[in-house]
């Protein structure tokens, strides 16, 4: 864990900026459940996946159809149809990301601007890959065999799809190396909840002492 960084001082000098925790983790590592635990502790959560879903059903639908003909149905992005066009195609995936990232960034900035909470959480799968800044990074992690078991149990998931998803992301080891805090998720919900509480206690203490 890094020591209290100079820019953390903004959170205790009356500048009214929230302390931003960035949460990430590879597929199947328990990131979404970890985000729920933070929410259960009263921390407002920006859920990037939920924002993408909303954009697919609204503002982004027409531009995605224009870029990927046949990827929408009744004005809503058909995620399976879109996946067939971008999975395994780095150029197509890059085009999709160039459309979606600015829209998601706009929503994220709005969330941060409007919040009055002292601490917030950004739940973003590609937090580190896309270089999104936060005051502290939390990585949800679990042993590789647990990850594989969880992911392959999902409906429609195959070994090939799993490997393609992993190829898009930093490895778990790379993420852990950049983490300020880890939440290990293979020992049950209550164990993870206690880890989240300890992280929040540490963050609050560092803000107070900055």
**C-alpha span between 137 and 139 (Å, rounded):** 7
- Residue whose C-alpha is closest to residue 19's, from 209, 210, 203: 203
The pLDDT of residue 168 is above 90:
no
Which tens digits make up the pLDDT trace of 180-191? 999 999 999 999
Q: Decide the pairing of beta strands 72-73 and 76-77.
A: antiparallel
Three-state DSSP class for residue 148: helix
Q: Is the predicted pLDDT of residue 12 greater than 80, yes or no?
A: no
Burial class (CB in 10 A: 0-12, 13-18, 19+), 158: exposed
Is residue 94 within 8 A of residue 3, CB to CB? The reply is no
Residue-wise pLDDT for 107-164, tens only, equals: 999 999 999 999 999 999 999 988 999 999 999 999 999 999 999 999 989 998 898 8
Geometric angle at alpha carbon 181, from 178 and 187, rounded to 5°: 120
Other C-beta atoms lying within 10 Å of the C-beta of residue 132: 19
pLDDT of residue 15: 57
pLDDT exceeds 60 at position 8 = no
Structure token digits, residue 85:
């066009």
Number of Cβ within 10 Å of residue 20's Cβ equals: 19
How far, in Å, are 87, 100, 159 from residue 49 at the CA level?
17, 11, 22
Token readout for 81 is: 């149809």
List the domains of the chain with CATH numbers. 20-44+118-205 (3.40.50.300), 57-114 (no CATH)
pLDDT band with cut points at 50, 70 and 90 for residue 4: very low
């Amino acid at each position: 864990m890094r020591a209290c960084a100079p820019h953390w001082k903004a959170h205790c000098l009356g500048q009214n900026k929230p302390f931003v925790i960035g949460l990430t983790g590879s597929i199947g590592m328990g990131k979404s459940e970890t985000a729920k635990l933070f929410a259960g502790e009263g921390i407002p959560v920006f859920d990037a996946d939920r924002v993408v879903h909303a954009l697919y059903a609204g503002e982004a639908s027409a531009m995605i159809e224009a870029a990927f003909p046949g990827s929408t149905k009744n004005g809503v992005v058909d995620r399976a149809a879109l996946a067939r066009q971008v999975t395994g195609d780095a150029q197509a995936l890059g085009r999709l990301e160039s459309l979606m990232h600015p829209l998601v960034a706009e929503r994220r900035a709005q969330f941060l601007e409007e919040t009055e909470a002292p601490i917030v959480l950004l739940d973003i799968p590609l937090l580190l890959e896309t270089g999104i800044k936060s005051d502290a990074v939390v990585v949800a992690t679990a042993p590789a065999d647990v990850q594989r078991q969880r992911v392959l149990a999902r409906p429609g998931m195959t070994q090939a799809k799993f490997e393609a998803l992993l190829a898009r992301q930093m490895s778990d080891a790379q993420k852990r190396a950049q983490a300020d805090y880890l939440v290990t998720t293979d020992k049950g919900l209550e164990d993870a909840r206690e880890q989240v509480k300890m992280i929040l206690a540490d963050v609050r203490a560092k803000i107070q002492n900055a």
